[in-house]
Structure 1
């Protein structure tokens, strides 16, 4: 056609053929230039797309790395929830175990900040000090009613928790912006990111940021923000150093192609970068980068700005060769129409190529987004139209398959889902396909090649829909969480079951008891508790060792389980305390409860066969009924404990029902215990002295110190009532030391004004011997300051102390004797009297108990016993003191039997120090006369 036009007469007549080539050239050259310029622009755009891809990949790396820290804090929150109390050692062990497989380079420290509030003493009493002492240690010092000091930190605790010498606590709520972030985290129960405190800035944590997650009291989480704030117990936090964090985050990024700079926008660091990559290509460069852009990286409310610039190496990849080729080719073929057509075809082909590359980059970005979120685990890509699924090699290897062993049909995945999980999984997938859920996420079991089952976290999302909204493509990841599931199971077992016996522990028992109580409220039935404490367990534990004690506890648990129905529960609360719960108790079924209690008592009649020994123990049982005896779990446990204590008071081997009288006795005992704590500082306690008379001569040069208590409202309280309370609460330590100090000062005075050999006897209970720290609270220090003064004191001990004497007790008793003190064995004959310990220990005096003296008469058995004791003591080199002498006959018979000393109402009651001094002076004068 073109040849016909060019050869036509019209062109020939007008000489068009002369200028037509130039005209065509003038038309073709601009066209060629425009095409060349357009192709050059396309090459630039293509490289710019690659630049955007690399930059967005870098933002994804940052978010992925932040997600690892978020998961770490969530794991620490689960650890705190699963524990009743976490101490420093447990915290350090957990952090070391957490960081052992993979130490995050940017992590400076994991820490726990304890929330304390002056209006809520329970928030700080566990720290072992008062509010004023805590505020004095707080850094920086601020006058507030609440703080959050860091009490645990690892592995780099030196910058966060001051040493013992500095005695400081670092308050994370000192700065208002950070305080608001922590409070918002507590209100929302979410991980939040915030700048680091200025009080930490300086050491090795410059340019850092924090991630924090709240911990709530009693491991409870409420949906109400106010309730959450009221129950906040503290925060677990990660202190992350910017430089190392971003160095690690950009570890897989190609830093030879792009230069990255990160600015902390939330910390108002707009001008100074928190991190930037270093490359020698930027040294001495003056021209601006060919590609540059800024990207906002927002994570958990915290914002960084990523600034990316291309480096010369990246810019070298801008391919202008094709544009130049097209330009040259356009010049060569501008003289022909075929060249123009070729350029048009090349233009179309180049445009299609650009669109294809753009689509491929978009699909790659979507896949990598989920690959990053899946922490590099198996990836799947489901083409919904063809019902074909592409599984990555990692996906197949996770289940033990080779690359060629799994087809592309969607049934290859469905048939491996555990039957118990299948319906739930399909429902979650359908909800995502139908648009009800944006992200598909499900935990389920998948069968491996060897037939075993693996727990999988399956996550995905629909990435493509048609014009009508129907799903076309869905991509996602598989993450192996089998180890996590095993850890969760182990944590649950540890949190809910006793590791020794396998029985439910206190936490699980309280949960079951609450369920039974709620059930009883609905049904109108009752719940019975049987609280059990072993009689004689301490002796087995101390004599045979803790290992054999543990064996005994296991055997006890097995016997108790045999006593119960399958619907009832047995739990170990701790030590040798067990509790049995019987549910669905009708109003006429209390006989069944009593039958169970008797059955429990019966199983303890048989001995326990340990490794090499046979142990005999019994049990003291208390019974309480809900709702008859209490309306809450706390009150019910108090009631059943009081009932058990009543069985103990009866001598054990029995069961006792709770009564209202027990509550009154317990309240009275508690009130008396509270009053006893203030008795010494309020001068309510005082010491009286009962003279000890030398029976042969009638002279008095000994006395026994006796403790008395004059209560400001109740008046005189018998020692028999308050001494057991003092021993149970360990107040006997302070009280006993105070009595000794009073008696020691008094006897030194009497040695100056009465007789130089005057002695005072002071009682010392086994509990004082067992728990006393002689270096801090003992009797030895004042004795050492007065050389020879030990001869003025006689320490009175009981037979029980010698029977169960440990090496520490023996050493302490020997130390007393080395200081010159004499030892008297009190209440001889009433306990486990044995001649073996009389030979083993150096005893100076035997004190015959008043129960033998009370019924002394001519020819009586008590007289025979007294004579035998006196004769035995004298043969062993000991002297004898008879207690409770009240008649002339008793005195006469004891003198005739050879008794050395006596005390009792016949001579005098206990006297004040002044009255005793007057009594001794007068009495000894009368005797001498």
Structure 2
């Protein structure tokens, strides 16, 4: 038991190890799935960062085209007055297409010697308080002459010398030298001088003199006459782009923009979050370069859970755990089943061994019983008609081991012809369930062509699903001696020991049958009763031995005088009875036939009897004795009386014959 428990514990340990491995694999796979989801989310967010960077850069290039278009307007015309500029700018509808843009301005270069003339000209155009600012002498002046729309904030920018600010001057020089629009670094707009300060930029596009070459930097420096410009508040510009981004939400994207390639707080252009610290897995860094000026963009996902749907990872973990538990449960069930099966197998093995031992003992007892009973065993496969016969079965019939083939016909063909139909009927009735057992007595032919009486018994040991017999086993017992004894007993019971004729008991039975036959077929039958006339003197003079010899001879003469179907019986002493059957339906004809038989008997008795003397001193000597008989004859047909009545009537007829002087025949009709 201890060994069995240790074996079970070892197997159970395997199940627990399998569960642990399954759980570890489930956790590992779920982490892998989660990491895969995270990487896909990061890739997706990286794509968003690329697209937003492209949108911002695209917005800059779009506005650059607007400025270049405005610069071309000045170069194509000799002069552009304030009203024409107003019409042109309003036709662009900048507030609809470029959120965050405050307007479109014209910046004119003013030589110092023409400064006073310039101020007077502008004031004459309807700007009475126009002047350059900041004040002071400089080598060259650049003034915002036109700006539309002319809002109060933008009006504050009129006359501002943009060249006086190093940040603006750097962008203006870069635009002048490259011939392309350029943007400033982070700055504060003049428009916001009296309001809330916001980070802003200004884009400048150069305006060159109409007929001067601009192929080289030096030529462009000589040809420059001014700039068109557009100021932007960065907060409005970037938020408009974020809102317009399809499929994204501003609140989900954290964006910080820095002027230049660094990430310094003082260079922060835009941030849509309270902090500029970006350190999550979604952090993306992009750089935008516009005509030599750089912006650094930092992106982050404010709500990573929106991008990272970990349902699949949790589902993977759940499925893995469930599968691991199921496998664990199945393994435990298999282990328990296997353990139970092994226990059952051990018990079955033990039971089988015990069964084999008992079977061996049973076979020994069975063999001993069969051999002790001297019975032969047969085993019949009814489907194939193959039969197995034991050695004893063959020995009963006088055959050797190899003389009988394993076929059922070997049995059937040896049954006595008179018994075959009886055996067939008994077997059929047993198969049909009309008999509980198969048991039949019949004669079988032996090897020496003599017949033996056999008691055959058997049972069906296997049937089909429909109930048809498939296999039958039984025994054959030699009952020849028993049959001989039965025949002897029967003979003693129904036959006279001296004459071997039927005795009075058998006479009554046959007479009863004759009465029944006469009722059935309507024919007359005859009953002859005879008594020997001179029997007693022979017995008295010579003893019973000669008397017995005489009676034996009388019996022989009687049998030779009648048909085989007729009955000759010894009624007792020296009295005999003969039954003659089926004479005729006509009574007279039947009487004639009966008298013919009686006459034949009477004639046979008139012959002398030659009887040998039995004593040694008389050996070879014989005596002659004459013995007649008195015979009474009656006829009967459809008789309603008993056998005793018929015998009594025949006996009366016999006494009438004796009364007439013996050796007579008397026929009495009843």
TM-score (norm 2): 0.43
TM-score (norm 1): 0.32
Higher relative contact order (CA 8 A, sep 6+): 2
